[in-house]
Structure formats: C-alpha cells, structure tokens
Chains A and B, each alone.
Chain A
Amino acid sequence: MGWRQSLQGADVPMARTIYLNEPLRNTFCKNSISTAKYSMWSFLPRYLYLQFSKTANAFFLFITILQQIPEVSPTGKYTTLVPLLVILVISGVKEIVEDYKRHMADKLVNSKNTIVLRQNAWQVIPWKEVNVGDIVKATNGQFLPADMVLISSSEPQATCFVATSNLDGETNLKIRQALSETATMKTEKQLSSLSGKIKCEEPNFHFNSFMGTLYLKEKSPISIGPDQVLLRGTQLKNTEWILGVVVYTGFETKFMQNAVKSPLKRSKVEKVTNMQILVLFLLLLVMSLVSCVGAIYWKDRYRAEPWYLGKKDYHSFGFDLLVFIILYHNLIPISLLVTLEIVKYIQALFINWDEDMHFKGNNVYAMARTSNLNEELGQVEYLFSDKTGTLTCNIMTFKKCSIAGIMYGDLPSKSDDGAKDLSQSPCFISDAYEFNDPALLQNFKNDHPTKEYIKEFLTLLCVCHTVVPEREGNNISYQASSPDEAALVKGAKKLGFVFTARMPNSVTIEAMGEELTFEILNVLEFSSNRKRMSIIVRTPEGQLRLYCKGADSVIYERLSEKSLFVEETLVHLENFAREGLRTLCVAYIDLTEIEYKQWLVMYKKASRAVRDRIQSLEDCYDSIEKKFLLLGATAIEDRLQARVPETITSLLKANIKIWVLTGDKQETAINIAYSCKLLSGQMPRIQLNTNSLEATQQVINQNCQDLGALLGKENDLALIIDGKTLKHALHVEVRKCFLNLALSCRTVLCCRLSPLQKAEIVDVVKKQVKAITLAIGDGANDVGMIQTAHVGVGISGNEGMLATNNSDYAIAQFSYLEKLLLVHGAWNYFRVTKCILYCFYKNVVLYIIELWFAIVNGFSGQIIFERWCISLYNVIFTSLPPFTLGIFERCCSQESLLRYPQLYRISQTGDIFNIKVLWIQCINAVVHSFILFWLPAKMLEHDVVLQSGYTTDYLFLGNFVYTYVVVTVCLKAGLETMSWNKFTHLAIWGSIMIWLGFFAVYSSLWPTIPVAPEMTGQGNMALVCPHFWLGFFIVPIVCLIQNVAWKSIRNTCHRTLLEEVREMESSGVQVLRRDSSQRSKVEEVNLQRSVSPRPCQVVFRNNSVDLGAPHGYAFSQVERAVISQEELVRSYDTTKSKPQRTFSATFE
C-alpha cells in the first residue's frame, strides 16, 4: 500500500547538491511526467504479458498450443486461436484508446507554461523544460511546476500563501516565508549574480518535511526547512509573485512521489466468477477423465478397435485426455472476460454521460475512472464519508444570530424557496443563503431598546478578528485564515458595518457610513484549548475594551453576574446547535487603564518566558478574560452540499450504514451530523475521548455491557470517537469490542483522524465485517481510505485532484451518490450478474452436448458440430445477447429505484448471484443440453427424414442440435431480459437469423472456398426438411417451458418487492412521480419493512454518554503557524495601494 509507506518516515541522507546559476552542473531528472501505461515500443510485449497473466487467457493459449500437435485436436488447429486473437485485438484496442487519453493528459500538463530566468532574462517555457536549479517566477493563482525553495516574494516579510488542497486536502492557506538572507533578491541582476549551492535530501514523499542547507558564497550556511519549500501541485494564492529555486523536478517531486498507482481492485462478483471458472476447469478435467474411462471401457468391450479403423489403437491414456480437454475446453467461456470488459466499459460510459450527475455549476460530469467495480456499486453496505468538501461545500455563511436575547435570521420559508431554485448550484454564494433578516436593521433604525447592543455586537464582528481586507475599486473582499471569521466579517458588512482597512496598529470600520478607527492593542490568539479569541482595542471614544468570541462553554463561565439575556441566549444557542449551525458566543468587557497596564506588564513577562511560553501566555490571557458582558451569539452555517440530508436519508433506507470520518474537530463533525440529519436531537451520543489504552478498553466494555442484548443490533445511538481514542480502540485487544459497539450504533462519527487512521478504520470494517465498503472524500487526506475501501469515490471539480485521481469514481456532488449507488449500482449489478450467469449457461449448454454425443460415438473424441461453428458460437452467434443483458437490462425504472431505496437490498445482499444460483443455472443448462441433444437425436435416429428417402450423417444431426441450441439460448436470454428495447430484439432475433443465414451460406462454400467440406449441402437439405422445422418449434419449447412455468409459479406464490414494484409500474399506476402524496399499498408495505428507528431504551451507566442537548460551538483557525496571527495582521497596511494586484479572496 503506497499510502501507508508514504506515512511512515524514513531517514533520508542529504545527497543532493544544486548549484545556483550553473545549469550544467545540475543533472537531474526532467520535469516532464508520464502516467501512461505503454509507450509505442513497450505496448506489444507488455500488453501480451498482462493478458496472458490472466488465467483464462493463459488457458486458451495453452489450448491453442495443444491444438498444434498433429491429430490431437478434434477441432482443428486454429479454432481457438482465432477467437482468442479476436478477443485480444478487441481489448487491445480498448487499452490503446485509454492509454491515448493518458498520453494526451500528460502532454497537456507538460506543455503548460511558466516563467524561468535563463540567460539573465525571464523566459516563458513549458513545464517539461524546467530543470533543477532554475529560478522560477510564479504569479498569483498559478500552479507551481516543480518543488522549489522560496527566495523572495512580493509580500511583506517575504511571505506567500499557497493552497495545498491538491496535496493534503486542507483548505486553509499555508504561509511560506523566504529566508531573510534571500528575501531581498528580486531583480534579474541580483538573481543571476547569485552563486552558491543548496544541499538537500534525496527526493521523498513526505509533504511536511524538508531538510536542506543553503551555502551562499561568502556567507555562513543557512538551513532550509519545510516553511521555505513550495511544492508542485500547490497553487499560489493572495501573493502577487514569488521567486524560487527548483530543487526537485518531474517524478522526483513530492507530489509525484505520492501519486502511487491505485491498487487494482476486483469486485466481489469478479472474485466469485474467477472461482467458478476454476471450478468449471475442474469439471472439464472430470469430464475428460470420465470420457477417457469411457473410451477404455468401449475399447474393452470390443476387445480392440474394429477392423474398419485399420491399425490397432496406439494412443495412450494421456493422449486421449488431451483430446478430450480440447474437445470440452469451450466449457470455459472464452468470451466472458472480454464481454464483461466491454459491457463494463459501456456501463462506465453511461455513468459518465448521466445528465443527472452533471454538475452544471462547473460543468463537471461524473467520471468512472475504473470500470472494474461497476457492480460493486450495487453492493455497498458501509459508506465512509469525509466531511469537509464532501458533505459540506466548505463555505461558511453567517446565517443567524441572537442579540440581546432576540433571535434574528430565522426565516425558514424563504430559504426553502431559495433552495429549490438553487439546488443545482448550492455551492455558489447567493443572497438567499446569507443572513437576511430585515428585522435586525429595523430594530436598529427604529431605536429599539436593544439598539446599543446591536451596534456593539456588529462592531465586535467588525473588529475582533484577524481578517485582512482587500480593496479593489469599490469592492472589498476579505482574506482570512479562518473561514468562520471571514463569514462573520462579511455578514457584518452586509448589515452596514463594513471593515474597510487594516493598519499595523489599528483597524478602520464604517459603521452605517460613519468611519471609526479602533486602535488594536493586543490580539489574544485563538487556540483549540482556549476555544476563544479576544482583542483589546481602544475605541474611537478612547475607551479600553476587550472583545471576545468563543465557545458557549468558555464564555458562559466567564460571564459577569451583571450580564443580561443569559437564559434566552442559551435557548437560542441550543436551537442553532440542533440545526447544525456553528455557534460562537460574543461578549465584551470594558477595561480600566490601570487594569490594562497591570495586565500588560504580565503579558510582556509571559511573552518573554523561555520555558512554556505558550502555556504562560494562555494563563496570562485567561487573567484578563473575565467578567464578560454577553452580547449574543452568532450562528454560521457550514453549508451542506445540495440534497445531502435527503441523500443520507435515502441511503440509510437502502440499508447502507454511514460513518463520517473527518480530520476536523469533534464539535464541527457533530454540527454537520446534526445538519445532515445523521444525528437527531434526542439521540444519545456515546462519546469516546480517552488518552490511554486501559481507559479506552474500560469505557468500551462499559458501553457494551450497558447495551446488553441490544449489542449487535442497530440502535438509535450515535458513537463519537476521536483520533487519539481510536488509536487505542483499534488496538488488537480492543478492536473486536469496539467494532461490536460501533456496529450497534446507527451513526458513527470519527473525528480528528489522521489520513492513515481513516484508511485503517475502513480496513478494519472491510476485513472484520466482510461487507462491501465505499469511501468518499475530496482531499488528499482521504486518499488512503479511498484506496483501501472496496470502492473509492472522489469528489471532483474542486481544485484538489488527488482524491479524484486515486478514486474509482469521481462525482461532483455528494448527492450524486444516491443515483450512482441506487440506480447505476443496482442496474449494473443486475446487468453484470445476469451477463455472467448467461455466459456460463450458454457455454455449458453447448459443450455438454459433446459429452452426450461421446456416449453414442464410443468416446472417440468426435465433435458433433462443424469446428468453425463451435468457435464462432461465442464470437458471433450468441455474442449479442450477453451484451444487451449487460448493457440495457433494467430491473425497474430509475424513478422506482430512487423512490424505493429498499430495492437496493436485492443487489446488496447478493442473493441473485452466488455460488448456489450459479450452480442452479449450470444444472439448468445441463438439463437443457440433455433435451437439446437427445430430442433431435431420437428424432433423427431412424435416419429417413428427407423427402426423397435420402439418408443423413452425423453433422446433419449436429446442425439440427446447433440450430436448436442457438434458438434456445437466444430465447433464454429473452426470458432473462426484464426490459426489451430495440437492441434486445435485434440481438435475439438477429442472432437466430445470423445463424440461419450463415448456415445456408456456409454450406455452399466448398470447394470454391476451401473450408468446411463436410458442411456441403447441409443447409439446403436441413432447411427444407420438415423434421428440422418441427424440431425448431418443439425443442426450444420443451427446454424453456419449464423455466417459464417455474418462474410463474414462484412469482405467484412468493412475490418479491422488485416484482411488486415492476407490477405497479406496468399497471400504469402513476404513483411514481416523486412528489406524489398518494401512497400506494406497496409503499405502505415498504414502509413497514424499513427499519423504523426505535427510540433507544438503554440505560447508560457511564459518563461517556451525552444525552443532553447538543452544543454548537465550532471555530477553525490555523494554529501555531510560521508566524503568529498577530504578527501577520500587523504586517499589513491595506491603506497603501499595491500596484497591479489581482486578488482573489480566499473564501469566496
């Protein structure tokens, strides 16, 4: 597993030396990349190797070689070679087409342009020509062409921002800062006179580590760390330009080193099929052995071979065995693999073409990156979903607030209307989604008693943050490392409190047109321990004031007794939390000068502390953050993608268990679980947060005991576990208990997981529960689980492509999963399994006949059919019905599948394709072959069937049988087909007509064309023979009428849900419109069948269970970055204009 390796560290020697401005001394790999499988020259050997490493193909190659031995083959020398070649050519063409696409994609990447310093001037060159040691200039918004060390940038303090979502899936921007020694080097002259070298480690796949040393001439060596390194695949943001020295190129970049090839995944159906092919092979051996024994017996009976054969028999047992293996080898369906390949390829095209999975917002279609797993989509039992970017849009909007005990923004009806119109593009900001409550402004303007509070509240939102405004003409956009803050500032702006400018020591806001400047004295930074951030300002009036925003729990314990609206706000907070909104409480306190001065002394001391500086700073912050006066609370919506709650409800109905695995914080995960209806208000939540193995074991056991008999059943419980605890919970001893507990809960949320843990938990469920798992995610941190799960789905269309590139299916929206699984998955499962069953059936039917014939011909190895008819059976005469089954079969309409997600369980349980079903089908085939041989045999036994008294030969019988086989097998396909479209008709009737036509033509080729002398005249004689047509009618009927009768009786006595739904569809009851309120009988039945979540009656005797109302606090902010937030915001002066600056705000 490539992913795992990439996470486990290894010591890397410092082995690379890059000479600055000496291109000839830097010889490293090219920057061009190739992800293609084949090149022009390697195609043939590699392709053949791959093909013949498949067991089935190797088997047919073996047969082909056997056939070249003289006299051993009853079917001629080339009858296996030709179909094998046809099949190899078909899949070869497919490979070429796919590889061509990869070549084109590589070419596109390799020919992107970038700017490089060459011969003392900036030149535009394509990516593939970038070399190690080049100095590259990248501008805002560009993707970086190679890994490089930052020299300098346009920004203050030589910083720059990069979006790393491509690599690690994290959406906040990363700050990189150049070394101060190089920060001033900006002109061509300076750069070209740069001389020295960089020593660094060998290429490796660790994103977050880099060790290097810069040796500049006449200066002491300086060490380079990951904070100076910009990686290929990242995007420059909010930075006008940067300059960097390339250190790794092409395949040696960390991005490419991480781009492990997705492991080859095989579906469950495929595994069963391969197993069955092996069993068929055994059957083939058994049949051959039986025939050999039969031959010995026959010879024994006649003591020797009869005189008319000439010489005595000189063939050994082994020789006979080979003859019979060749005779029966077609029992193994030669065309099955290639048929499946093509069928699945087209199924994948259907997924790609699906307009319902077309995200018009950025014009992205669903993409099936592999077609191996199409039917696996119909069998998913466990769904592991990432949160950020998958369930959510990763867009925060200020949605509601509570000011002075009054709630604003609670306008459900309006947002509902908006949701309908915008369901196609929910991730684009529109006013309908933002805070939009006129009452707030009215109260403010009409001198409502709470006016002062409203003003203070909005001022706080404008001032208390670390956002940097960007002015572009009259537009102000905000960039922030915290999406929550950006949302709040934007929300305030909309309400007339506009944050306009930031200077190193002050911020300027426009409150209802009035310009106010607040002097910023201190920024009391956020940390996840503190759960709050504060800012100390001097108001325009000269008052010292501390503004604070943070979690309800930390704010409430610091409230002064004089604080008002405490109760009301608490109720509102609970409401917000129940809806899944992220809440923050805001409060303030006026400080006196003396108080502040005293504190400032403390603060300075703490900030100079050598040991535990962070801790002492936090203690210092704590000492002033007290006696707050509550202003209210904000509610930010971490916007869900469109139709996420509906999709989740529908998937739950389809008996798919959904686990949310996120790297995000517990609070955030719980919020989202509420808003997407995975959690409901009264659901007890088992929270596992422990630090040691013992504690984990103990709390899990305690919970298991409390559940008692309900353990192992699905309860209306939620399990919430964090990464630290999970590490212990997945320990070998605890694993089983933990899994039992987790499987007893309806919802499982795992928070703060590392990518490896995500993969691990998927792996545990996959191995222990033996269920089909699906992982869906959008970021690089999901790659592990996407690769581990049986089916990996990536959310595409965002900038991060790593998840998509490692996924099996890429969709643009989480909600498309519904159609992908319930419709495509279920359909494909039906199609593929029917196709496989049918292929087994048709081969067994035809080739068992050889065994029946062997009984009458003394086990001599004679074939009853003409040899080319046999080899064309799979290639032409019965090749079309499997395709129509595999491509066009529909168990019921997609509307029904979406309306009754319960139908998914048919494919999920796999009841229609397992070993038992397969063998029933094979036995059925044997019965059919028995009828198909013995009926015509008895018909022709008396030899005189032609009108002029002519007698017939063995091939005449063979052609009768063959024709009846083709007819029966085609009609059987028709019987299996649940919905016939024009292609089905074409395939079924067409195949029969093709055979009859071929029969007529093929019988008159000899001797003009030197093939098939034994067929001469067969067509003319058979096609006018009354017996032929009498048998043509009766033989297929005798075969198939039993199947029809059996099906009819079964459907009468025991109807399945599918049949009920089909019946309803065809009876024209139009209850199938999705908005129909009228419930049919069937639907009621279904509703009874579906598991209705029972309220949980468990009495928990441990304190890990949270039965109370949910808290809604959540806040995200970069912590412990290269430079502190305070330093960063103080470095900006946005009143000075920057020339030619094109800014794209981070969270817009």
Chain B
Amino acid sequence: MKRKCQDYESRLPDNTAMKQQQLPAFRLQLSANEILSGFFAIGLFCLGMGIILLLSAKSIREVEINYTAKCATCAKLREDATNFDKECNCSISFYLPQKMEGNVYLYYKLYGFYQNLYRYILSRSNIQLVGTDVKDVRNCAPFKTSDNGLPIAPCGAIANSMFNDTIVLLYNFNSSTHIRVPMVRTETAWWTDKYVKFQNPTFQNLSSAFAGTAKPPNWPKPVYELDEKDPGNNGFVNDDFIVWMRTAAFPNFKKLYRRLHRIGNFTEGLPAGSYSFIINYNFPVGRFQGQKAVVLSTLTWSGGSSLFLALAYLVTGAVTLLASFSMMAVHLKLKERKTFFLQ
C-alpha cells in the first residue's frame, strides 16, 4: 500500500525532448496555395497519364471470337456427360482487316466459370504439385481418390476441371492454301510456377513416377501424357496445366493458350487476311450457362487492351481539376480571411 520515496527516486527521468513531449514536429498544415497547386498538379498529371494510357491501349489489336453459339452442335453434344468419348470439331473463319504487329498471344476465354469459389480453390494439393509427395491428396476433396481408391494425380477440383479444348489457328493464304499458324505452347506460365511451384516427381521415367495414382476423372489421359513430345512440358510442368491451375479472380477470365511463333510469314506478326480456328470441342460450358471464346491480342508496355485504367486516370484528373477550380473560387471569395486550408 505504501509507495515510498525511494520509489520516486528510482524513476527520475532524464529530461529529454522525447520524454517531455517536445520532439520537433512537422505540421501538416498546408496553405491554400499549396493545396491548390497540389490539386492542379495531380489533376494535370492524371490527365496526361490518362492520355498516354489511352493512346497505348488504342494501339493494341485484339480479336475475340465467341464460339459457344458457333459450335452449337458440339456444345449440345457436351451437355450430356456420357458423350465424353465422342470427338467433336468445329471450324470458325474470320477476317483480320489489319495486320497484328509484334508478339501475338492466343487466349481462351471462359464466361461464367467461377474459378474463385472457396471450395474450388481449396481443392488442390500444392505438396503433390511440387513433386515431393505425389500421393498427398489432403485438401483435394471431392477429387481425392479414384473409384478404386488410388490417389488422383493431379488431385482436386481445379485440376479435374482443366480446360481441354484444342485450338488451332489456320491462315487462309488463299481459298485453297491453309497454313497452320506456328504457335509456341511453352512459356505461357509464370517462371516461378514452371520452375518452383510445379515439379514432376524425380524418376527416370515420368509414367513410373506417377505409378500408383489415378488420372482425374474428367481427363481423357493421365497427366504424364499431356505432352509426350516435349518432356519439359509434360506431367505437372505442362504449361497448359500450370496456367489453368492459377485460378482466376473473376467468373469471366482469359487464360494464355499459345504464343505466335514469329517465323516465316509471321515474322512481323499476323498479316491481315482470312483465318480460321479449328477447335476440338471438349470443355462443357452449357452445363453452367457459360460461354467460351478465343482471343488474339497484341500487347504494349502496360499489358493488354484495357481502357479502364486510362479512363480512371482521365476521370480522376478531370474531377481533381474541377475540384481545384471550385476550391479556388471559394478561396478567392474568402481571401480576406487569409485562409489556411488544411487543419
């Protein structure tokens, strides 16, 4: 109960600015001029930036072809899951009025596919995919094991629902000559995915590495037959697989499918002319009222064609400028008060 004097002596403070709360401090207190010029600067910068972004977005060539309706017969066939073994091809022609210069990327796009569902995202095994334990299927419910009890590799809902249409682009040189546009099927995934996150189990033979596992129920063939020509693109490190495994944020999303191999006629990019897509239609979208599309696009420094960021900058710039004009009006009206704006 008794606090003694010794107690006080022991806490003699050294008299510092910190302890006496006298630390030098900068006042966040801006004058009208500073605020207004700040607003003007921000407004102008945003406008300028917006224009640059707008111009660069305009320079992008992009072609999107929705083939859900165009391949109606195939779509109908896939409505019924029992027809999984029946092949269905579909060809879509289109005309490219202007050439697409530079690197051209081929995407597939899905509408209404929710890759961002909680239980969908959960349903994968990163330990399995990194190759350390191919039989680890812990979080993969409901695609953990096959009917005969073997662990599925790659397990989980994401892998099971992998996009499996094949898309081939033909360049119709003339009515009789159709050149298959050369496409690169690798380097479509992030470097870290390809070389860190996804690794095949270390075995001399890939198929033996996956021995004792089952293929995902929806897949026509096991994971070690994804790309039998290129061992660097087979198994878990298959680029198409890796790209699919990176689950999109929105129900409508694009995924990188192929890159233009710039050789021969296509050194400059895609020349203008008539093209057609040959699509091997496997992926059922009708069952979730979804749609599929293919997208051909070039890129600029800021990525693909999106006007949104440009618009955001333009609108912000304009609004800020407007605000600063109105604030200036208020300020001039009350000028005799020698106003300080902020705090």
Q: Is the CB of A1052 within 8 A of B23?
A: no
A806 to chain B, nearest CB (A): 10
Shortest beta-carbon contacts, A-B, top 6: A944-B304, A1017-B192, A308-B161, A310-B142, A1013-B126, A979-B25
Chain-B contact segment, one of A38-46, A433-441, A1040-1048: A1040-1048
Write the B180-199 contact mask toward A (1 if CB under 8 angstroms, else 0): 00000001111111001100
A1017-B193, A1020-B191 given; name 8 further pairs at CB < 8 Å: A256-B1, A308-B161, A364-B5, A365-B8, A942-B305, A1021-B192, A1041-B323, A1047-B341
Residues of chain A from 990 to 1040 with CB closer than 8 A to chain B in the complex? 1004, 1006-1007, 1010, 1013-1014, 1016-1017, 1020-1021, 1025-1027, 1030-1031, 1034, 1037-1038
Residues of chain B from 107 to 152 with CB closer than 8 A to chain A in the complex? 107, 113-123, 126-127, 130, 132, 141-143
Select A940's contact among B114, B142, B247, B249, beta carbons within 8 Å: B249
Chain-A contact segment, one of B205-213, B270-278, B294-302: B294-302
Select A805's contact among B1, B6, B309, beta carbons within 8 Å: B1
Complex Cα distance A74/B343, Å? 42
Write the A1040-1077 contact mask toward B (1 if CB under 8 angstroms, else 0): 01001101110111010001001101100000000000
- Which size class do B's interface residues fall under? 35 or more
CB of B313 within 8 Å of the partner chain:
yes
Residues of A within 8 A of B107 (CB): 943-944, 951
Select B193's contact among A935, A1010, A1016, beta carbons within 8 Å: A1016
Write the B282-314 contact mask toward A (1 if CB under 8 angstroms, else 0): 001001110000000101011111101100110
Question: Given contacts A310-B143, A801-B1, A942-B254, is CB(A1016)–CB(B23) below 8 Å?
Answer: no
Q: Is the CB of A861 within 8 A of B27?
A: no
Residues of B within 8 A of A801 (CB): 1-3
Write the A340-371 contact mask toward B (1 if CB under 8 angstroms, else 0): 00000000011011110000001111010000
CB of A398 within 8 Å of the partner chain:
no
Q: Is the CB of A978 within 8 A of B343?
A: yes
Question: Given contacts A350-B21, A1034-B312, is CB(A306)–CB(B288) below 8 Å?
Answer: yes
CB of A117 within 8 Å of the partner chain:
no
Q: Which of B25, B122, B132 has the most CB of A within 10 A?
A: B25
Q: Is the CB of A1034 within 8 A of B316?
A: yes
Complex Cα distance A476/B143, Å? 102
Instruction: Tell me the nearest residue of chain A to B245, going by C-beta.
Output: A953
CB of B172 within 8 Å of the partner chain:
no
B165 to chain A, nearest CB (A): 15
Residues of A within 8 A of B309 (CB): 939, 1027, 1030-1031, 1034
Q: Is the CB of B29 within 8 A of A953?
A: no
Residues of A within 8 A of B7 (CB): 105, 108
Select A323's contact among B21, B28, B118, beta carbons within 8 Å: B118
Residues of chain B from 151 to 182 with CB closer than 8 A to chain A in the complex? 157, 160-161
Chain-B contact segment, one of A210-218, A852-860, A1122-1130: A852-860
CB of B15 within 8 Å of the partner chain:
yes
Residues of B within 8 A of A1063 (CB): 29, 340
CB of B103 within 8 Å of the partner chain:
yes
Q: Is the CB of B193 within 8 A of A1052?
A: no
Residues of B within 8 A of A944 (CB): 105, 107, 254, 256, 297, 299, 303-306
Residues of chain A from 533 to 557 with CB closer than 8 A to chain B in the complex? none
Q: Is the CB of B118 within 8 A of A74?
A: yes
Residues of A within 8 A of B8 (CB): 363-365
A164 to chain B, nearest CB (A): 15
B121 to chain A, nearest CB (A): 6
Q: Is the CB of B20 within 8 A of A353?
A: yes
Q: Is the CB of A951 within 8 A of B334?
A: no
Residues of chain A from 75 to 92 with CB closer than 8 A to chain B in the complex? none
Q: Is the CB of B342 within 8 A of A954?
A: no
Q: Is the CB of B28 within 8 A of A975?
A: yes
A978 to chain B, nearest CB (A): 6
Q: Is the CB of A308 within 8 A of B120?
A: yes
Instruction: Tell me the nearest residue of chain B to A35, going by C-beta.
Output: B1
Write the A91-120 contact mask toward B (1 if CB under 8 angstroms, else 0): 000000000000001001100000000000
Q: Is the CB of A953 within 8 A of B25?
A: no
Complex Cα distance A533/B27, Å? 65
Q: Is the CB of A105 within 8 A of B327?
A: no
B138 to chain A, nearest CB (A): 11
Select A365's contact among B13, B46, B118, beta carbons within 8 Å: B13
Complex Cα distance A354/B12, Å? 10
Residues of B within 8 A of A943 (CB): 107, 248, 253-255, 304
Q: Is the CB of A1013 within 8 A of B197?
A: yes
Residues of A within 8 A of B23 (CB): 888, 981-983
Residues of B within 8 A of A804 (CB): 3
Q: List 10 A-B contacts (CB under 8 A).
A: A309-B117, A943-B248, A950-B188, A1017-B197, A1020-B191, A1030-B313, A1034-B46, A1053-B334, A1059-B343, A1063-B29
Q: Is the CB of B3 within 8 A of A105?
A: yes
Instruction: Tell me the nearest residue of chain B to A298, going by C-beta.
Output: B114
Residues of A within 8 A of B11 (CB): 352, 365
Residues of chain B from 239 to 277 with CB closer than 8 A to chain A in the complex? 243, 246-256, 259
Q: Is the CB of B330 within 8 A of A1049?
A: yes
Q: Is the CB of A355 within 8 A of B343?
A: no
CB of A947 within 8 Å of the partner chain:
yes
CB of A922 within 8 Å of the partner chain:
no
Complex Cα distance A234/B312, Å? 77
Query: A interface, by DSSP: helix, strand, loop or mixed?
Result: helix
Q: Is the CB of A1052 within 8 A of B339?
A: yes
Residues of B within 8 A of A939 (CB): 306, 308-309, 312
Q: Is the CB of A979 within 8 A of B27?
A: yes
CB of A473 within 8 Å of the partner chain:
no
- Which size class do A's interface residues fall under? 35 or more
Question: Given contacts A858-B117, A947-B303, A1041-B42, is CB(A935)–CB(B130) below 8 Å?
Answer: no
Complex Cα distance A939/B141, Å? 33
Residues of chain A from 305 to 325 with CB closer than 8 A to chain B in the complex? 306-311, 323
Instruction: Tell me the nearest residue of chain B to A948, going by C-beta.
Output: B187
CB of A1147 within 8 Å of the partner chain:
no
B18 to chain A, nearest CB (A): 9
Q: Is the CB of A947 within 8 A of B117?
A: no
CB of B320 within 8 Å of the partner chain:
yes
CB of B35 within 8 Å of the partner chain:
yes
Complex Cα distance A1025/B247, Å? 19
CB of A426 within 8 Å of the partner chain:
no
Complex Cα distance A953/B107, Å? 15
Select A949's contact among B113, B161, B299, B341, beta carbons within 8 Å: B299
CB of B229 within 8 Å of the partner chain:
no
Residues of A within 8 A of B86 (CB): none
CB of A795 within 8 Å of the partner chain:
no
Write the A283-315 contact mask toward B (1 if CB under 8 angstroms, else 0): 000000000000000000010001111110000
Question: Given contacts A35-B1, A302-B288, A862-B116, is CB(A1007)–CB(B132) below 8 Å?
Answer: yes
Instruction: Tell me the nearest residue of chain A to B190, going by C-beta.
Output: A1017
CB of A472 within 8 Å of the partner chain:
no
Select A1041's contact among B20, B132, B190, B320, beta carbons within 8 Å: B320
Q: Is the CB of B303 within 8 A of A935?
A: no
B2 to chain A, nearest CB (A): 5
Q: Is the CB of A309 within 8 A of B120?
A: yes
Question: Given contacts A355-B20, A894-B21, A1016-B192, is CB(A105)–CB(B2) below 8 Å?
Answer: yes
Complex Cα distance A983/B196, Å? 40
A783 to chain B, nearest CB (A): 12
A315 to chain B, nearest CB (A): 9
Write the A511-539 contact mask toward B (1 if CB under 8 angstroms, else 0): 00000000000000000000000000000
Write the A926-954 contact mask toward B (1 if CB under 8 angstroms, else 0): 00000000010111111111111111111
Select B190's contact among A307, A352, A950, A1052, beta carbons within 8 Å: A950
CB of A150 within 8 Å of the partner chain:
no
Residues of A within 8 A of B46 (CB): 1034, 1037
Complex Cα distance A350/B141, Å? 57
Q: Is the CB of A1006 within 8 A of B197?
A: yes
Question: Given contacts A310-B160, A947-B301, A1007-B132, is CB(A861)–CB(B249) below 8 Å?
Answer: no
